[in-house]
Amino acid sequence: MHALILNGPNLNLLGMREPELYGDDTLADVEKGLRAAFPEVRFTFAQSNHEGALIDALQDAGSQDINGIVFNPGGYTHTSVALRDAIAAVRVPVVEVHLSNIYAREDFRHRSLLAPVCEGQISGLGVDGYHLALRYLMSR
Ligand code: CA2
């Protein structure tokens, strides 16, 4: 199994601000935790604040040997037709993950443009969401 763990805008700030919403773990901690929990998995980790770079990462995954993508698209979840098109086009299953429960927050976060073209969505379970998404992708 080769998994891409892809994180979108502002998630590079994880663990540094707003811990009440997103927890204390940094993105490096998330990576460390996944590597420790899944030693048998080959990982590629990527984060970008730029929509086009995220689209490139999704397209590249299709031409590499990646079997599953765990994707936290950050704020682009609620706005990006371009990311939706990229997910729909890639021949690799994608699970959308959110640290916070987007349905318990502002109305504009209740809609995901991406969820309909993903295998599924995990929201509100913190860093465990990444682990559960990967567990699902490994089992499929
Ligand atoms: O809950 C999530 O994982 C989100 O994808 C996080 C996004 C938000 O726009 C989505 O609605 C839900 C925001 C990411 C911002 O990350 C930060 C982390 C620490 C400090 C500041 C921002």
The secondary structure of 88-121 as a DSSP string is HH-SS-EEEEESS-GGGS-GGGS--SSGGGSSEE
Alpha-carbon distance of 58 to 67, in angstroms, equals 12
Q: Name the residue with the closest Cα to ligand 1, atom 19.
A: 14
Separation of alpha carbons 83 and 34, rounded Å: 25
Active-site pick, 2, 76, 98, 131: 98
pLDDT in tens, 91-131: 999 999 999 999 999 999 999 999 999 999 999 999 999 99
Active-site residue flag, 98: yes
Distance of CA 37 from the midpoint of ligand 1 (Å): 23
Which residue numbers in the chain have pLDDT < 50? Answer: none
Distance of CA 22 from the midpoint of ligand 1 (Å): 7
Is-catalytic flag, 78? no
pTM above 0.85, yes or no: yes
Domain 2-139 has CATH 1.10.1740.110: no
